[in-house]
Amino acid sequence: MVLAAGLGTRLWPLTEDRAKPAVPFLGAPLVARLCAHLARVGFERVVVNTHHRPESVRAALADAKARLGIEVALSHEDEILGTAGAVERALARGLLDPDRPLLVVNGKLETDLDPRPALAAHAAADAAVTMVLLENRAREAFREVKVVGDRVVGFGHGRTPESEAPLLFTGIHVLAPEVLRAIPPGFSDTVADVYPPFIEAGRVLAHVARGARWWEFSTLARYLDLHLEAHRLGLGPDVVTSPGATVAPGADVRQAVLWEGARVEAGAVVRRAVLGAGVNVAAGEVVEDAVVVLASHVQGPSAGGERGEPWGERIRVPIPRGAP
């Protein structure tokens, strides 16, 4: 099951017109890239939950069998149900098999992590839950997972790593049937609400993956920086364009991401920026260290209560350099 129902408030304003998992990375929606990856490692079917802007997820996964090589079933939530509640709702609808282990994956990820070793470790250990972890060598702002031996014993406080060799949770985990049966109807979270008694009983296996690329898109700065990192690694171009985006000869465009139908005219300057769907940057205009979206796409307030800077028929939101 791929979780794709979150509101994506920290990625505002890019999540005004689509769910975060439908946001493009290297020109294709995150959720489509993730489902294609699951197909490559042998999965034949995935259930994807939706809530915010469900039409964007449906569009990203249209004809998934033919395009991505995997069958997709959607489970819509009128009210958001949380990471565990989403699983319970899909079970109640008959979309998941209650008698088989379930792989759950956060839909806002870009990764080449192969979940099969975690599934094998889960079966060999007869675990209730297996949480896939990574070493947080850069000590990024992720809540630390405390491990003793091969078992999860608790979590750190806040997003500041505390130990010398902190581990982070990837949002990829395996749930045994007994855990599926323990999820109550309604809103609930796996880590906060469902896992504590299994952790207390020593039934949550810590599977530390090695050598995997794992990118999580939480903020505007991280969204742009991960595109730049992909270019550094040879995975994508310096200027990433989605279908229908154009850069005119004579435009100065560097380290930029252009969504569907975005246009940069000759004589315009765009550097370290993200242009949302349909945005046009005219000759003489300059966009640096910013996200620009059409004002018509923005309907609600941002996570911080501010709506960015009006810029004609567009809205410009700065991306501070060095932001987390």
Name the band, by pLDDT with cuts 50, 70 and 90, for residue 321: confident
Whole-model pTM: value is: 0.92
Query: Peptide bond before 13: cis, by omega within 30 degrees of 0?
Result: yes
Which residue in the block uniquely carries the two structure tokens 């966009």?
Answer: 287
Name the band, by pLDDT with cuts 50, 70 and 90, for residue 196: very high
Specify which residues 71 forms β-bridges with: 45
Half-sphere exposure of 236 (CA within 13 A, CB side): 20
Write out the DSSP string of 243-272.
TT-EE-TT-EEEEEEE-TT-EE-TT-EEEE
Please state, in angstroms and as integers, the Cα–Cα distance from residue 323 to each residue in 10, 153, 208, 219, 320, following that order. Answer: 12, 31, 28, 9, 5
Structure tokens at 62: 């249209």
Half-sphere exposure of 83 (CA within 13 A, CB side): 18
Please state, in angstroms and as integers, the Cα–Cα distance from residue 64 to each residue in 50, 55, 71, 85, 197, following that order. Answer: 16, 15, 6, 25, 37
Asked whether the beta carbons of 156 and 139 are under 8 A apart, the reply is: no
Name the band, by pLDDT with cuts 50, 70 and 90, for residue 305: very low
The domain spans of the chain are 2-216, 220-318
Report whether pLDDT(282) > 70: yes
Residue 278, C-beta contacts closer than 8 angstroms, at least 6 positions apart: 259, 260, 261, 262, 294, 297
pLDDT tens digits, 116-138: 999 999 999 999 999 999 999 98
Section 241-270 average pLDDT:
98
pLDDT tens digits, 71-105: 999 999 999 999 999 999 999 999 999 999 999 99
Structurally, at CATH architecture level, domain 2-216 sits in Alpha-Beta Complex (3.90)
pLDDT tens digits, 97-115: 999 999 999 999 999 999 9
pLDDT tens digits, 18-45: 999 999 999 999 999 999 999 999 999 9
Longest Cα–Cα distance in the chain: 64
